[in-house]
Amino acid sequence: MLKLRDVTAGYGKSEVLRGVSLEVHAGEVVTLVGANGAGKTTTLKTLCGLVKARSGSIEFDSLNLTSHAPHEIVELGITMIPEGRQLFPFLTVEENLLMGAYKTSARPFHKERMEKVLEIFPRVKERLAQLAGSLSGGEQQMVAIARGMMADPRLLVFDEPSLGLSPLLVDQMFDVVRTVADQGTTVLLVEQNVFHTLQIADRGYVLENGCITLSGTGRELLDNPHVRRAYLGH
Ligand code: ATP
């Protein structure tokens, strides 16, 4: 479904991605893990068109994404849930969700879509009329994911969804990611919570200094001595 080949990208004179290649197949949960500053967010921004790839190719269903603008990439079926939630605090939860149905093809069906999305998020359903800014951190994260689902994406891209959540909420959030995938949306997930992520991921890639240094199934990476030493602390 998604194929990055030797992608380089950066900011000004600094090159952050130095030849990233990875693949996501339909129906998978794939994770990209790595230390702070390794280039994880930059990888996601490059695939969503927010940062220009300097070389290499990014294919989504055989279409070359590097020649598309970010809004076109959304229309093609890729939605990113950015780090830090970024809800509209003075709008209600329902209004925030409707903002997610901006994709042209999703607009006429937003009512049906919302019903379907709310089945995954019963807690969000209870709070539709509440101002988004008054929700707890965990609830805001769920609304951000639900809003991303409103665009009816084929590939949902998460940037650090567990950031700032308590351990219990982290568990719930990972359960939601798995549910989203099991219901047919393919997931690419960037996380610093390496242990949890590899447990729910079908496959993963380790990004170090802008290069992919390891890849394998979630289980293989959890058992890998380098991953254990560098990211799991044992
Ligand atoms: P983290 O886990 O801390 O979010 P990351 O792996 O997602 O890290 P990136 O956010 O991709 O890393 O950043 C990679 C490098 O690019 C860092 O050195 C960062 O300072 C730099 N960088 C990111 N955004 C910009 C920008 N807009 N302008 C200049 N440099 C940037």
Tell me the domain boundaries of the chain.
88-152
Question: Distance, CA 197 to ligand 1 centroid (Å)?
Answer: 21
pLDDT in tens, 174-220: 998 998 898 889 999 999 889 999 999 999 999 999 999 999 999 99
Question: Distance, CA 106 to ligand 1 centroid (Å)?
Answer: 32
Question: Distance, CA 183 to ligand 1 centroid (Å)?
Answer: 32
Residue 154 banded pLDDT, cuts 50, 70, 90: very high
Q: What distance, in Å, lies between the first and last C-alpha atoms of the chain?
A: 35
Rounded CA separation 137/147 (Å) = 15
The structure's pTM equals 0.90
Q: Are 224 and 216 in contact (CB under 8 A)?
A: yes
Q: Which of 14, 42, 50, 211 to mutate to test the pocket of ligand 1 (most atoms within 8 A of CB)?
A: 42
The predicted pLDDT at position 104 comes to 67
pLDDT in tens, 75-134: 999 999 887 778 999 999 999 998 887 666 666 677 888 898 898 888 899 999 999 999
pLDDT in tens, 8-56: 999 999 999 999 999 999 999 999 999 889 999 999 999 999 999 999 9
Q: What is the ipTM score, two decimals?
A: 0.93
Determine which residue's CA is closest to atom 31 belonging to ligand 1.
11
Q: Which of 7, 13, 14 to mutate to test the pocket of ligand 1 (most atoms within 8 A of CB)?
A: 14
| Residues of the chain above pLDDT 70, percent | 97
Q: Which of 17, 33, 40 to mutate to test the pocket of ligand 1 (most atoms within 8 A of CB)?
A: 40
